[in-house]
Structure 1
Amino acid sequence: MRSSTRFERDAFGPVEIAADRYWGAQTQRALGVFDIGEERFPSCLIHAFGLQKMAAARANLRCGALDPVLAEPVVAAASELRDGRFDAHFPLTIWQTGSGTQTNMNANEVIANRANEMLGQPLGSKFPVHPNDHVNASQSSNDSFPTVMHLVTVLELEERLKPSLVLLQESLRERANAFANVLKIARTHLMDAVPMTMGQAFDTFARQVAHGFDRIDATMPRLLSLPQGGTAAGTGLNAPPGFDVFFCEEIRALTGRNFSPNPSKFEGMAAHDALVEVSGALNVIATSLIKMANDLRWLGSGPRCGLGELKIPDDGLTSSIMPGKRNPTIAEVLAQACMQVVGNHATITMANASGNFELNVAKPVLIANLLQSIRVLADASRVFAQRLVQDVEVNGAQLARNVENALLLVTALNPILGYDKVAQITAAALEQGVTPRAAALSLGLLDEATYDRVVDARTLAGRPGHRPEGFSERS
């Protein structure tokens, strides 16, 4: 009968491991030490480790630091890690050494065991491929983990978040065009103000998303700079000359992204300012999206006792006690996701401030929170676009009533009558419960023709669908 466990040895002696697990002694020991929480790294970070180990093996081969006989199975095993084959073999939570050493070793051990298996050796043999001597050659957790942090952040921004923001911006722009001629009353301080169009409101939302793109793009030069090659402290001890250059060339070939060596490995390992900068951009996007979600919730409130200017699409969900009640659930979930991003930014800020001399020691919690921010922003933005924005409609009748009865239309009369006389009109309209037009005529301050010529809501709203100069037409 085949044993259900195996023994591996490390510098501290033998360790018992489940026979079918590809991790090794250091990972197993860490499982016993860091018995904290359930939060694990998302699979995208594990896949990025596969990329990092592939590029490192190829760079080592080019430098002559790794035998071709060993490099080939290491690259093949790392490729499988990149492709998601070994996600279940990363059991550690994010609560571990602040350098991310245990997850780096987990990757080294999984790749070494798989490479040896490819060479006909049993799991745990550590021969001919050794997790430290070969998979981790020319590397340290101190430069490998932050390199992975940069890799996965770039890939998640480009491949997950940006497509969702593109969809949202296009949806907002389409609604802005559809509502370009729909008049509404602006609100300042939550109170009635002057006329505008619903298209202008949605145009504002689209512009906010466009600025979000710009903020993300502005972080890329720092994100594309990798500290790989700094090894333990930034000096490059045990890394052969040219390793960092070769590594980045291999990463560029694997990802199609223009990664380059950080000219100061010390900076790239001791501080993660670039990642805080990214989180700051996500924080701004989150606040923009909360504003949009809340505006649409308020404008769609009702259907009979609220503002009722928008018709929020039905999501098929209802109240547990009030039959047929419809709620703006999609807007609410977007707001909640964005609240998480704002909270994550505080954690990321503190984590980056926790660098001591040549090493930041809060890397795992920093990247875990950053990746969660990217993920929830991407998913919530996509759902918001598809399930709310694309199908939202205006309540034309309610908007028309609001425009007709809006007191502040008469602001347009200020240049003709002066502020004080116009204030008389608004006071009379409010007191008598009539339209401002009726109040103005009853006071005898001007004739019908003049009033209708000057107080025209569509003219006061500006050109329907007008986009301010410089509006970004990003796709």
Structure 2
Amino acid sequence: MTKKTRTVHDTMGELEVPIDALWGAQTQRSLQNFPIGSERMPAELIRALLEIKWATALSHAAMGRMESNKATTIAKVCRDLIASVKAGDLTHFPLVVWQTGSGTQTNMNVNEVVAECSNRLCPDLVFHPNDDINMGQSSNDVFPAAMHIAAKRILVERVLPAVDELIAGFDDLATRCRGQIKIGRTHMQDAVPIGVDQEISGWNGLLRQAREMLIEAAKNLTDLPLGGTAVGTGLNAWEGFDEIVATQLSEITALSFSAASNKFAELSGKQQLAAAHASLKMLANGLFKIVNDVRLLGSGPRCGLGELILPANEPGSSIMPGKVNPTQCEAVSMLCVQVMGNDVAISLGAASGVFELNTYMPMMIYNFLQSAHLLADGCASFQTRCVAGISINQQQLQRNVDHALMLVTRLAPVIGYENCARIVKDANNTDLSLKEAAIASGLIDAEHYDDLMQLQDMLTPEPSARNSEP
């Protein structure tokens, strides 16, 4: 009978693992001790840990602490495992998020897998998970470093490009709408005119503000606490290792990293990650406002605002034939709420470090990466399946402008605020148009009224007397 397990050991004794598993005893114990939830450690985090093992091996070889043949073997194994993880294969990294708050078991999972693969690749050498793969490291400095690497990469490679795509989409929509004028709204009530492109520029302004915050957040994830080991003092790490490994990681990841100047702060607090997620939350806040504006402006088609015509992507109702709903807006609004919830969890986690270590790290990076994926996917989907297909209901815009009473604001400098208020009240009570009520007041004649009511002139400030001087 073929044996289905192999025997492994750690400092607590022997136990069996599946014969085809590459992990060792500590990973198996974690599987047994934490049957909690279905949330697995994210691939981005595993990749970052493998990159750290690769970089530390090369760094130790460069410093004379590890034989070069061992270092090159570890580097090759890490490269191969990274390729597998990038392809979606997490077979050998099975641990859940809900484990030790330092991420020690996932760090050991990676150490064990790299050691086993290295031993199989070079059986003449001996690779130990702790002595070789984890040399000069502690989970306490490795895991937060991996968090920064994974977080920075997803901001740079996924979130920012998706935001740029959405900004470009709104820029295109604004160009298509240039010259079209609508009634603005404040407090959800009629206000004064605004250009459709001006309204869209407000949406894009929110996205651009979030974009700048995200760029700054990515820069602030540059510092790594590697070399701090268990409590930040650097016990069992060599002097200068922190700078060498940061340089190696910069080359391996094609991202910029440096050694943290205060490793005690990086181990015990998670300020930079929390701040970076706050930038994701600000993107979610702006996006939430935008999609809700879009779906309200597209409400109808007969009995709503109906100023925007949204793409009809799919049937909207299982009972009402022909109904089409703003589903892209709804999906994005939901994911924005999820990101806001994740921010609360991350903020609490970041504030909960005790003495020399924060023990909420797996939860924090899981939520961070989920938020980043949701926002990147949401921006891309909203642009492709909604913004790109929006058109303007020009007839509805004109109808609203024709019926708007707040155009009276234009008359206030000429006939006074209180007189204007009486004209609006009379127009409402007698069902007159604003022009009819204004002329009936005797305060302005038709010619003067028409001269003042040039909509295009209402979209910018009045020229100053200084600017009008010859």
TM-score range, shorter chain: over 0.9
Bigger drift between 90-99 and 425-434 goes to: 425-434
The one-letter amino acid of 1:319's match is: S
Question: Displacement of 1:96 after TM fit?
Answer: 0.8
The one-letter amino acid of 2:268's match is: A
Deviations 1:88-123 (A, max 9, x none): 2111110011110000000001111111111248xx
Question: Displacement of 1:73 after TM fit?
Answer: 1.4
The answer for the alignment partner of 2:468 in structure 1 is none
Kept after mapping to 2: 8 A contact 1:8/1:16: yes
The answer for the alignment partner of 2:353 in structure 1 is 355
The answer for the alignment partner of 2:270 in structure 1 is 272
1:381 aligns with 2:384: no
Kept after mapping to 1: 8 A contact 2:156/2:218: no
Cα distance in 2 between the residues matched to 1:212 and 1:50: 31
Cα distance in 1 between the residues matched to 2:154 and 2:210: 15
The one-letter amino acid of 2:308's match is: L
Question: Displacement of 1:427 after TM fit?
Answer: 1.2
The answer for the alignment partner of 1:320 in structure 2 is 318
Question: Displacement of 1:443 after TM fit?
Answer: 2.4
Cα distance in 2 between the residues matched to 1:157 and 1:41: 18
Deviations 1:312-365 (A, max 9, x none): 111123211111110000000001000000000000011011101111111111
Cα distance in 1 between the residues matched to 2:315 and 2:23: 44
1:460 aligns with 2:452: no
What is the DSSP-based 3-state SS (H/G/I as helix, E as strand, rest coil) of the residue aligned with 1:7? strand
1:106 aligns with 2:109: yes
Kept after mapping to 2: 8 A contact 1:334/1:384: yes
The one-letter amino acid of 1:458's match is: Q
The one-letter amino acid of 1:155's match is: R
Cα distance in 2 between the residues matched to 1:422 and 1:354: 58
Cα distance in 1 between the residues matched to 2:81 and 2:232: 27
The answer for the alignment partner of 2:342 in structure 1 is 344
Deviations 1:220-254 (A, max 9, x none): 34310000000111111111222111101101111
The one-letter amino acid of 1:84's match is: S
Cα distance in 2 between the residues matched to 1:68 and 1:133: 15
2:223 to 211, 222, 225: 225
Q: Please show how residues 272-311 of structure 1 align to structure 2 within 5 Å.
A: 272-311=270-309
Question: Displacement of 1:2 after TM fit?
Answer: 3.3
Question: Displacement of 1:384 after TM fit?
Answer: 0.6
Question: Displacement of 1:69 after TM fit?
Answer: 2.0
Question: Displacement of 1:178 after TM fit?
Answer: 1.4
Kept after mapping to 2: 8 A contact 1:57/1:75: yes
Question: Displacement of 1:305 after TM fit?
Answer: 0.4
Kept after mapping to 1: 8 A contact 2:155/2:218: no
TM-score by length of 2: 0.95
The answer for the alignment partner of 2:46 in structure 1 is 46
Bigger drift between 310-319 and 329-338 goes to: 310-319
Bigger drift between 143-152 and 419-428 goes to: 419-428
Deviations 1:172-191 (A, max 9, x none): 11111211211100001100
Cα distance in 2 between the residues matched to 1:25 and 1:324: 59
Cα distance in 2 between the residues matched to 1:5 and 1:317: 52
The one-letter amino acid of 2:59's match is: A
Kept after mapping to 2: 8 A contact 1:63/1:241: no
1:89 aligns with 2:92: yes
Cα distance in 1 between the residues matched to 2:216 and 2:72: 38
Cα distance in 2 between the residues matched to 1:134 and 1:446: 89
Cα distance in 1 between the residues matched to 2:258 and 2:416: 64
Kept after mapping to 1: 8 A contact 2:93/2:109: yes
Question: Displacement of 1:432 after TM fit?
Answer: 1.9
What is the DSSP-based 3-state SS (H/G/I as helix, E as strand, rest coil) of the residue aligned with 2:17? strand
The one-letter amino acid of 2:69's match is: V
The answer for the alignment partner of 1:400 in structure 2 is 398
The one-letter amino acid of 1:230's match is: G
Cα distance in 1 between the residues matched to 2:336 and 2:439: 50
Cα distance in 2 between the residues matched to 1:340 and 1:84: 30
The one-letter amino acid of 2:105's match is: Q
1:168 to 166, 169, 178: 166
What is the DSSP-based 3-state SS (H/G/I as helix, E as strand, rest coil) of the residue aligned with 1:83? helix
Kept after mapping to 1: 8 A contact 2:308/2:391: yes
The one-letter amino acid of 2:272's match is: A
The answer for the alignment partner of 1:116 in structure 2 is 119
TM-score by length of 1: 0.94
1:259 aligns with 2:262: no
Identity rate, percent: 40
Cα distance in 2 between the residues matched to 1:317 and 1:50: 46
The one-letter amino acid of 1:110's match is: V
The answer for the alignment partner of 2:190 in structure 1 is 192
Cα distance in 1 between the residues matched to 2:298 and 2:269: 45
Q: CA RMSD in A?
A: 1.3
What is the DSSP-based 3-state SS (H/G/I as helix, E as strand, rest coil) of the residue aligned with 1:16? strand
The answer for the alignment partner of 1:366 in structure 2 is 364
Cα distance in 2 between the residues matched to 1:347 and 1:81: 31
Question: Displacement of 1:367 after TM fit?
Answer: 0.8
Question: Displacement of 1:15 after TM fit?
Answer: 1.2
What is the DSSP-based 3-state SS (H/G/I as helix, E as strand, rest coil) of the residue aligned with 2:84? coil
Kept after mapping to 1: 8 A contact 2:408/2:420: yes
Unaligned runs of 5+ in 1: 122-126, 464-475
